[in-house]
Structure 1
Amino acid sequence: MSDKPVNLFAKWQVKDGHLESVLKLLPELVEQTRKEEGNLFYTIHQSITDPNTIMLYEGYKNEDAVAAHRASEHFKAIALGQIVPVLDNREAVLATQLY
C-alpha cells in the first residue's frame, strides 16, 4: 500500500422518509472519525437541489488509515449499522491528489 495521502469522495442517496434520522447520526460519526489518528479531515455536505443527497469528502494519511477507519467501531455501528440500511444508493471513490 502507498504511503501517499488518500481522499475519499462518497455519495449517499438517502431513502425518502429517512433523512432526519441520518442527519441526527452524522455529528457523532464526524466527531469520532476526526479523532482517528490517520484522519486528515472529514466533511459532510448536503445537495442544494436534492436534500436526500449527502456527499462526504474525507482525507486520510494513507490507505492503511482508510482501512482503519472502515474497521472502526463507530464506522461499523453508525455508518454500516444505521445509515447504510436506509440508503437507496452508496458510491465511494478513493483517489490521490495529482496537482
Structure 2
Amino acid sequence: MKNQNPIHVFATWKVKEGQAENVLNLLKTVHDESIKEEGNLFYKIHQGHSDLNTIVVFEGYTNEKAIEDHRNSDYFKDIVLGKIVPLLDTREIVLTTPVDFF
C-alpha cells in the first residue's frame, strides 16, 4: 500500500547561466496547473538570494498517488521534463513526510 501521509517535495535546481528567467517563466505555468490538482496542498517557488541561478521548488501533496498523478500529467512531462530540465546544470529532489511532535 502506498504512503497515505502528506508528502513534501524539495526540488533544488542549479540553472544554467543566463536561463533563470526562462525557467521562472516556465514555472509560472507549472505552478498554475499544479495548484489545480486535487491532491496538491501547495506549490511554492523560491529563488536563491545571492545566487539567482538556484531555484528551489517546495511542493506539498496529500499522498503518494497525488505525486504520481502530478508527475504523470501532460504539462509536467511537457514543461518540466521537456523544457526546464534541459536548462538545468543539476537537479536534486528530496521527498519528505512531515513529522508532527505535538
TM-score normalised by structure 2 residue count: 0.94
CA offsets 1:26-66 (integer angstroms, 9 cap, x no match): 11110000001110000000010100000011000001100
Instruction: Quote the offset at 1:20 in angstroms.
Output: 1.9
Identity over aligned pairs, percent: 52
- Which residues in structure 2 correspond to 1:14-93 (within 5 Å)? 14-93=15-94
Q: Which runs of 5+ in 1 are unaligned?
A: none
Instruction: Quote the offset at 1:72 in angstroms.
Output: 0.5
- Give aligned pairs, total: 99
Tell me, in whole angstroms, the C-alpha distance in 2 between the residues paired with 1:58 and 1:23: 15
Q: Runs of 4+ in structure 1 displaced over 2 angstroms? A: none
TM-score normalised by structure 1 residue count: 0.97
DSSP-derived class of the 1:85 partner: helix
DSSP-derived class of the 2:4 partner: coil
CA offsets 1:41-97 (integer angstroms, 9 cap, x no match): 000000101000000110000011001100011111111010000100000001101
Tell me, in whole angstroms, the C-alpha distance in 1 between the residues paired with 2:99 and 2:25: 35
Tell me, in whole angstroms, the C-alpha distance in 2 between the residues paired with 1:9 and 1:24: 19
Q: Which runs of 5+ in 2 are unaligned?
A: none
